[in-house]
Amino acid sequence: VVDHTAADEPATGPAGSPDGALLEQLTAVVGAGAVSAGDVTADEAHDEALTVAPVAPLAVVRPSRRDEVAAVVRLAARHRVPIVARGSGTGLSGGAVPVPGCLLVSFERMHRIVDIDVDNHVAVVEPGVTLHQLDEALAPLGLMYPVYPGEQSASIGGNVATNAGGMRAIRYGVTRNQVLGLELVLGTGEVVRTGGRFVKSSTGYDLTQLVIGSEGTLALVTEATLRLHPRPRLASTVLAPFPRLDDVTAAVPRILGSSLVPSVLEYLDAIAMGGVTAAAGLDLGIADELRAQAAAYLVVLLQADDERRLEEDTATLAALLEEIGALDVFVLPPKAADELIVARERAFFAAKAAHADDIVDVVVPRAAMARYLHEVADLASAHGALVTGCGHVGDGNVHLSVFQPDEERRKALLSAMFRAGMECGGAVSGEHGIGTEKKPYYAALEDPAKLALMRGIKDVFDPAGILGPGRIFDR
Ligand SMILES: Cc1cc2nc3c(=O)[nH]c(=O)nc-3n(C[C@H](O)[C@H](O)[C@H](O)COP(=O)(O)OP(=O)(O)OC[C@H]3O[C@@H](n4cnc5c(N)ncnc54)[C@H](O)[C@@H]3O)c2cc1C
């Protein structure tokens, strides 16, 4: 515990209403320009989840340092006002959407890269640092932070809170595998540091890991210590169309069981491929005849520092893909390769533009992918819906766009899809989180004993129950 002492104002202020008093006290803590009430921007009222309606908070508060965050939390606890944390608002589960009467604590002013420690391969950053910002700082040093969710404007705080994954997880793991330590403001305003610039610890409970993925319900992250990796110099991207989706899922264990270590291993079904390439205006030169036969595509990125090694790996992969039944194998020119990866990252926006009604990111054991996708196809037709998708097939994590405008029918379909995923040995979300939007499905499927344990943990971190109201589970 490093700080309990920031000076906040008494709870009773001169203003007439309790809200007025709170706003005055908040202004005293963070400064007049850093509290907005009544003039909240449209963006701050929602995140990117397709199903959320915008909600105006009581106020947006923009602290610039840890002590201000602590003081804001203490004031909120005293006034019993809920707090919703906001990074960049790119989340897909409603996690950063305000509730009426809450303080939306935005970390946009806490965007300092505190240190890049080259010898220890560590970066220490404030939570509002974006992935793009960090990548720009690391590239000249030949280093990288390997969490690449589709949206590079996402913040490190949001990534930690959702345990973000993304395409490179197949090689490097997810946020959970990269965070060495955190600085946290608990629901009491108390400040706690966990972990540090070291890679192993057998010293008590792992509070870092407990907070990662807690979606702003246990603590506010005010600093993160991150593990860095050498940045591979060379890349080769291979695209393989397959006649059946099953061929793609069957290819995954073969590739991962070979000597190859892909940095990206993604699938897109034919509809998703058509959608993302059309949205990006991207022509990969695949003949119409071949496209007509393809039910799904595999995209594999290989990276290395040695040219000969990369050539050999690419040849090995191409031979393996042909043997497995690919209709063809394309080694993409670098520009087309980069554009395809970016187009795939923007698959969400292509689905949104096509009026998808919801997006889910169920995860199953990768050997159960074929079974799960068959069950989803059956469920979609039983519920009169179109479900199409792409995803991190190497992780068993599918991103499925659900087209069924009738809300009741869609909810019934989603319940069945989540249940099927769990029956395959999987989980409701691989990386987007539960937030508010997946909460009813999760509540219906999760072991009540585990939910009770989580509620108990939350009570310890946040006794007044002010952090992340209604996210993950109801208190
Ligand atoms: C086009 C697109 C593609 C995407 N692709 C992927 C993908 O491949 N993989 C993936 O994992 N995600 C993906 N996402 C989802 C999103 O980018 C991630 O969830 C990201 O981690 C959210 O970061 P953010 O800063 O926008 O967080 P926000 O949306 O602002 O918040 C997300 C959650 O974190 C909490 N939070 C934010 N900051 C803090 C803090 N400092 N302390 C405590 N809690 C905090 C919020 O309360 C909320 O619960 C994608 C989103 C888009 C729009």
The whole-angstrom separation of Cα 134 and Cα 123 is 9
For 76-117, what is each residue's pLDDT tens digit?
999 999 999 999 999 999 999 999 999 999 999 999 999 999
Q: Which residue blocks in 152-296 are alpha helix, DSSP H?
A: 156-162, 169-172, 207-211, 245-256, 270-280, 288-293
Q: What is the average per-residue pLDDT within 109-134?
A: 98
Kindly tell me if the per-residue pLDDT of 15 is higher than 90: no
N- to C-terminal Cα distance for the chain?
A: 26
- Rg of the chain in Å (alpha carbons): 23
**The pLDDT value given to residue 9:** 38
Q: What is the average per-residue pLDDT within 393-401?
A: 96
Compute CA distances 82 → 102, 159, 471, whole Å: 5, 21, 12
Q: What is the DSSP letter of 467?
A: B
Question: In the Cβ-directed half-sphere of 353, how many Cα atoms lie within 13 Å?
Answer: 11
Q: What is the average per-residue pLDDT within 430-457?
A: 98
Instruction: State in Å: Cα 327 to ligand 1 middle.
Output: 37
The whole-angstrom separation of Cα 299 and Cα 336 is 12
**The pLDDT value given to residue 475:** 85
- What secondary structure does DSSP assign to 391-426, as a single string? EEGGGTEEEEEEE---HHHHHHHHHHHHHHHHHTT-
The whole-angstrom separation of Cα 170 and Cα 115 is 27
Instruction: State in Å: Cα 164 to ligand 1 middle.
Output: 7
Q: Which residue among 52, 64, 162, 361 has the greatest number of ligand 1 atoms within 8 angstroms of its CB, and so is best to mutate?
A: 162
Q: Is the distance from CB of 438 to CB of 402 less than 8 angstroms?
A: no
Kindly tell me if the per-residue pLDDT of 217 is higher than 60: yes
Kindly tell me if the per-residue pLDDT of 469 is higher than 60: yes
Question: In the Cβ-directed half-sphere of 365, how many Cα atoms lie within 13 Å?
Answer: 6
Q: How many of the other CB atoms lie within 10 Å of CB of 111?
A: 16
Q: What is the average per-residue pLDDT within 372-387?
A: 97
Q: State the virtual CA torsion across 369, 372, 378, 383 in degrees, nearest 10.
A: -120
Instruction: State in Å: Cα 70 to ligand 1 middle.
Output: 22
Q: Six-digit token pair at 108?
A: 């946009």
**The pLDDT value given to residue 39:** 81
Looking from the CA of residue 349, the nearest atom of ligand 1 is 1
Kindly tell me if the per-residue pLDDT of 363 is higher than 60: yes
Lowest mean pLDDT among 2-6, 20-24, 36-40, 439-443: 2-6
Q: Closest residue (by CA) to atom 39 of ligand 1? A: 157
Stated pTM of the model: 0.95
Kindly tell me if the per-residue pLDDT of 13 is higher than 60: no
Percent of the chain with pLDDT over 90: 94
Looking from the CA of residue 216, the nearest atom of ligand 1 is 44
Q: Six-digit token pair at 360?
A: 């889910």
Q: What is the average per-residue pLDDT within 177-191?
A: 98
Question: Across the chain, what does the average pLDDT equal?
Answer: 94
Q: Six-digit token pair at 437?
A: 């939007």
**The pLDDT value given to residue 8:** 41
Tell which residue, 31, 63, 58, has the closest CA to residue 45: 58
**The pLDDT value given to residue 399:** 97
The whole-angstrom separation of Cα 172 and Cα 392 is 13
Q: Is the distance from CB of 361 to CB of 421 less than 8 angstroms?
A: no
Kindly tell me if the per-residue pLDDT of 139 is higher than 70: yes
**The pLDDT value given to residue 17:** 73
**The pLDDT value given to residue 235:** 97
Looking from the CA of residue 90, the nearest atom of ligand 1 is 26
Q: Is the distance from CB of 332 to CB of 239 less than 8 angstroms?
A: yes
Instruction: State in Å: Cα 455 to ligand 1 middle.
Output: 22
Instruction: State in Å: Cα 286 to ligand 1 middle.
Output: 34
- Structure confidence at residue 16 as a pLDDT band (50, 70, 90): low
**The pLDDT value given to residue 41:** 87
Instruction: State in Å: Cα 91 to ligand 1 middle.
Output: 4
The whole-angstrom separation of Cα 64 and Cα 110 is 5
- Which residues contact ligand 1 via a Cβ below 6 A? 47-48, 84-92, 95-96, 107, 127, 149-151, 154-155, 157-159, 161-162, 164-166, 215-216, 220-221, 346, 348-349, 431-432, 468, 471
Tracing tokens 């939306």 back to the chain, one arrives at: 104
